[in-house]
Amino acid sequence: MTSSLPDDVFPVVVIGAGLAGLSAAVHLSARDVPPLVLEADTEWPGGRLSGGAPDTFEHNGRTWSFGSEHGAHALWGGYDNMRAMFERFIDIDLNLSYGEEWINRWGNEVRYVEAGTNVRRSWLPAPLHYLQLLLNPQFWTTITPLDFLSLPGFITSLLWTTAFDPIMEQIDLPGLTIDDYFRFWTPNLKATFRGLGHNLLAAPSEDITLAAFIAAIRFYTLLRRDTWQLGYLPANAHDCVIQPMIDKIEENGMVMLGTRAVSLSRNGAYWDIRVEDAKHGGMRSLTAAAVILATEPLAAQTLLLNSPELAARASQITFPPTLRGATARMWFDAQPREGAPGGMFTGDFEIDNFFWLQRIHSEFAAWNEAGCSAIEVHYYAPDTVYDQPDHMLLVTATTEVLRAFPELRGHFVHGAIRNNGRTQTQFMIPTAKSLHVESPWPGIYACGDWIGYPSPCLWMERCTVTGMAAANHVLAAHGAEPWAMIPPREPEALPKLMTRVLRLLRRIFGPVIGLLRRWRR
């Protein structure tokens, strides 16, 4: 137990105070294994859920101020462990989405369809539930007779998706991209569903692999109708998630801001962590019985390669790249038409999704009552887009929003850009070469949305699940009760049957196809 450790040895040091690190720490703290959490940022812990300096402006003789953030607003239906964590440790009520809108633009023509409720309330079972859109008159405005030529390609893609689980089978399909999924689809449907990929994986098309896209649509939308059910956070993520989790952790542990881990070294049965203290200056060493690495990939790679005892093995690990991202917020002194609280842009739009903040966040209630509105949009774009000055990103975002919501023209009040830098992981299928929850080194564990673990979940749910898994390893070493994790939701009956049949066919014909390929070579 922790009481048997020397006084100068921490039971566990968690490196990184993003969602994954805080998920591990809060579960450790609640089992009386006090964690020390190190966070390099001096002001805003939380990683991609972190807050930021408020956006402040004057309007109608009043000063308005709204906390900024990276743009995480909602939990998907399959985020069951994240919801359970909230119920255990923090007081938060999610606001269920009453619809999600797809807004498609080709040239000057903008077309609208509320797709979310159509898909999840479909009387057609998964994975056919997207066909329910054909019964929506609005959807017919977004397609042409030519799009029905996509039917063979659609069926092929559907079979491909149900035939295997890339994450659980550790199949990354090297060299294949999202465009291979849409082969033989018409340009219109391809653009619409490619936009779905941008939003599910927070990346532009060129940074989305085929395996990652299949994993995403399997987890989020294709195998069950109810997984596409967003629950919106009631306020910005820092105020309603990150700070309450830190407060809970500090009932039994500690979170140190401005402290960057530089290297790790073995010290008998323990680990020494060399850290740089930005708040007090200088370097110091900490000793821990266990370490949980909970940083983004580049920071993890740098730390491990800077640790002489770990560098050789770390050089053999594949670390996924990170991507840039940006959010734009615009305030208007008028309300948009009635509609969904959020949705996505597809086709020719240069922005990828949107959230009406006055419809989902309590901190915008007074702004809403004044007859005003605020929208946040996200860019998932190539680097050339982010290389533009921030004011150009804002001009583009505003122009695109006014194309989609022309009733707001002439009502712009204020705008702000948050350029997030390279903080978004490019999701790659974890394989044997990836870093997993159980690292190659004794007493070192890892967690995060890029970490290998036998679960099909992605993003915030993967942060939570891997954080709990890492915490459970530490708890086991201290003889404490582990936390039970909620298993992923089972597919509906039809996709489950299709998966079994298609996997049987793979086992039968896979070796034959392999022999033919070798013979041709």
Per-residue pLDDT of the chain (521 residues; tens, 9 = 90+): 456 888 889 999 999 999 999 999 999 999 999 999 999 999 999 998 888 889 999 999 999 999 888 888 999 999 999 999 999 999 899 999 988 998 988 878 898 988 888 888 888 888 888 878 777 777 777 777 777 777 777 788 888 788 888 999 888 888 889 988 888 888 877 887 888 899 999 999 999 999 999 999 999 988 998 888 899 999 999 999 999 999 999 999 999 999 999 999 999 999 999 999 887 778 989 999 999 999 999 999 999 999 999 999 999 999 999 999 999 999 999 999 999 999 999 888 999 999 999 999 999 999 999 999 999 999 999 999 999 999 999 999 999 999 999 999 999 999 999 988 888 999 999 999 999 999 999 999 999 999 999 999 999 999 999 999 999 999 999 999 999 999 999 998 988 888 888 888 777 765 644 544 455 44
Region of 449 (left: φ > 0; alpha: ψ -120 to 50; beta: rest) is alpha
Helix, strand or coil, per DSSP, at residue 224 = coil
Asked if residues 426 and 297 have their Cβ atoms less than 8 Å apart, the reply is no
Strand-pair category, 283-288 with 9-10? parallel
CB 245 within 8 A of CB 108: no
Is the bond into 174 cis (omega within 30 degrees of 0)? no
The alpha-helical segments, DSSP class H, found in 206-281 are 210-217, 237, 243-249
Asked whether the beta carbons of 485 and 469 are under 8 A apart, the reply is: yes
- Tell me the C-alpha distance between 127 and 130, whole Å: 7
Q: SS3 of 418, please?
A: strand
Q: Report the distance separating Cα 517 and Cα 521, nearest Å.
A: 6
> Whole-angstrom Cα distance, residue 31 to residue 1?
11
Question: Structure pTM?
Answer: 0.93
Amino acid (one-letter) located at 44 = W
Q: Which domains does the chain have, with CATH numbers?
A: 2-47+236-319+427-477 (3.50.50.60), 100-222 (no CATH)
The length of the chain is: 521
Q: Residues near 289 by Cβ (< 8 Å), separated by ≥ 6?
A: 5, 9, 10, 11, 12, 269, 270, 271, 443, 477
**Between vectors from CA 340 to CA 185 and to CA 195, what angle results, nearest 5°?**
25
